[in-house]
């Protein structure tokens, strides 16, 4: 039996690995060598044949390690081991199954610094291998929502964009027009970053994660992983197996976007979608011989409302030209010019600031990606309605029908993507079951209703009555802009022609 170095999988959530890296740097090399020898003696004593993974718990304070389990198989992070040893593990498995001795396999001989074409026996218990000169970090890409305690998500995938480089290799089990169903595991991709040092590998992984673009019904943990990699604890390697669960519990890692920027971005997206929808309907009407122009005014000037973070923003939108809008709110005027890309994302110039926007309408609201940061703008539901945000199956209700339930108390267990999760009540009150155990549910479905204990405690929606601080004052028209305004006025768009002249 031989040991091919090892991996550190301390970054875990609910006992599921998030990052895995090698070689392990937290344990001194002499202690880690004893771990390897213990693993070799264990597998030899039981006559084990094939590849396996021996797992230990290591206590850095006492410098002691404890046996955890033996996994009699390859694990999905095996490319980490291959990246630091140069040994192709599936290939070695096949050669062992063919009866070839380990010391005769060329890649293993090279790993131990021996002539790959020789057949001299190697004492793997006594002879040391050449210690790895690089570091590899793996990151699992999962269809989970980090904003909701990493609840699994499912649905159609419209686009997966990632390009491997000489420093980062990755694979995905789904592609464009594919999807992840509610009975599957949430992992659908894996990235492996390599560098001469742990810090080089970490930086390469951060850059690679920033290049990933996944669009569709699902949520991913990509943005959250970037934040984790940038924490001081991960950089200093002072983490343990409870570290990530603690961060999730305290909600200390989040991807924040200014609320006013979210509201303005959503308004621009909604205005663009409104015009596209009305244009399509108008063209269809013309194709049927219906020549009424009654719908045009509502396409040229219309209200747009966005409610986010318990604040309602009321915009008045006006189409000033092709892909050119003016939005007014509380006496403030914002211009927005839009270019729709082939992937349906919007490149926008909003009062001189550049944005890349992507929107996806879901049963629970509008999911926006604003310059790479994902934000959920939920539909304003009645707080007495308890709705599902996942697709799955109701396992059981935790209270009887018409029982009292406290705010944040679990009221139902749901099975989704091989996990059992509990939904919590948003307010206190008497619960009424709208569905029965065994029912299949989708995101947005009404699971139960509440008769609220104290309706006055429900969070109220306030109306935004200030100026948007992120928008600079509108500059005077340039000559080119004035000429464009006149041209658009001649084309029939409502313009301030006198100002332009």
Active site residues: 73
- Asked whether the beta carbons of 215 and 157 are under 8 A apart, the reply is yes
Residue 346 and residue 348: Cα distance in Å, rounded? 6
Which residues are paired to 192 by β-bridges? 138, 169
Residue 44 and residue 55: Cα distance in Å, rounded? 16
Which residues 6+ apart lie within 8 Å of 249 measured at CB?
none
Which residues are paired to 451 by β-bridges? 430
Largest CA distance in the chain: 93
DSSP state of 130: P
Closest by Cα among 453, 386, 394 to 424: 386
CA distances (Å), origin 400, targets 14, 322, 431, 471: 29, 57, 8, 51
- Asked whether the beta carbons of 350 and 366 are under 8 A apart, the reply is no
Residue 498 and residue 501: Cα distance in Å, rounded? 5
Residue 97 and residue 173: Cα distance in Å, rounded? 28
Q: Report the number of secondary-structure helices (H) and strands (E) in the chain.
A: 12, 30
Q: 400-404 contacts: CB < 8 A, separation 24 or more?
A: 401/431, 401/432, 401/433, 402/430, 402/431, 402/432, 403/430, 403/431, 404/428, 404/429, 404/430, 404/431, 404/453
């Amino acid at each position: 039996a031989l040991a091919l170095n090892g991996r550190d999988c301390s970054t875990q959530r609910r006992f599921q690995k998030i990052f895995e890296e090698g070689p392990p740097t937290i344990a001194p090399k002499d202690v880690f060598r004893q771990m390897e020898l213990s693993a070799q003696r264990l597998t030899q004593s039981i006559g084990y044949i094939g590849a396996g993974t021996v797992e230990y718990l290591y206590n850095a304070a006492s410098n002691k390690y404890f046996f955890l389990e033996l996994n009699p198989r390859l694990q999905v992070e095996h490319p980490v081991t291959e990246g630091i040893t140069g040994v192709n593990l599936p290939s070695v498995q096949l050669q062992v199954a063919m009866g070839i001795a380990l010391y005769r396999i060329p890649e293993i001989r090279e790993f131990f610094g021996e002539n790959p074409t020789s057949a001299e026996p190697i004492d793997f218990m006594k002879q040391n291998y050449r210690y790895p000169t690089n570091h590899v970090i793996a990151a699992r890409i999962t269809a989970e929502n980090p904003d909701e305690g990493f609840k699994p998500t499912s649905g159609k995938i419209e686009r997966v964009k990632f390009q491997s480089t000489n420093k980062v290799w990755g694979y995905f089990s789904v592609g464009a027009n594919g999807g992840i169903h509610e009975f599957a595991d949430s992992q659908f991709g894996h990235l492996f970053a390599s560098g001469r040092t742990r810090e080089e590998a970490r930086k390469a992984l951060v850059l690679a994660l920033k290049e990933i673009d996944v669009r569709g019904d699902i949520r991913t943990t990509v943005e959250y992983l970037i934040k984790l990699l940038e924490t001081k604890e991960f950089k200093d390697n002072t983490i343990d197996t409870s570290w990530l669960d603690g961060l999730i519990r305290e909600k200390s890692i989040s991807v924040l976007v200014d609320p006013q920027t979210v509201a303005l971005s959503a308004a621009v997206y909604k205005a663009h979608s409104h015009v596209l929808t009305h244009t399509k309907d108008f063209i269809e009407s013309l194709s049927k011989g219906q020549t009424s122009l009654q719908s045009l005014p509502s396409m040229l000037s219309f209200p747009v409302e966005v409610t986010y973070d318990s604040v309602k923003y009321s915009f008045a939108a006006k189409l000033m030209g092709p892909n050119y809008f003016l939005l007014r709110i509380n006496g403030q005027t914002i211009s927005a010019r839009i270019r729709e890309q082939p992937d349906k994302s919007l490149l926008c110039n909003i009062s001189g600031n550049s944005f890349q926007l992507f929107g996806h309408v879901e049963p629970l609201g509008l999911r926006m990606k604003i310059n790479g940061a994902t934000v959920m703008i939920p539909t304003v539901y009645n707080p007495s309605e308890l709705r599902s945000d996942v697709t799955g199956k109701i396992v059981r209700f935790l209270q009887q029908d018409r029982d009292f339930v406290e705010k944040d108390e679990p009221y139902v267990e749901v099975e989704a993507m091989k996990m059992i999760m509990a939904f919590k009540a948003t307010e206190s009150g008497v619960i009424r079951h709208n569905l029965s155990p065994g029912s299949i549910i989708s995101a947005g479905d009404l699971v139960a209703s509440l008769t609220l204990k104290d309706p006055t405690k429900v969070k109220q929606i306030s109306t935004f009555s200030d100026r948007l601080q992120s928008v600079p004052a509108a500059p005077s028209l340039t000559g080119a802009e004035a000429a464009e305004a006149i041209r658009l006025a001649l084309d029939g768009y409502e313009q301030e022609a006198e100002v332009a002249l």
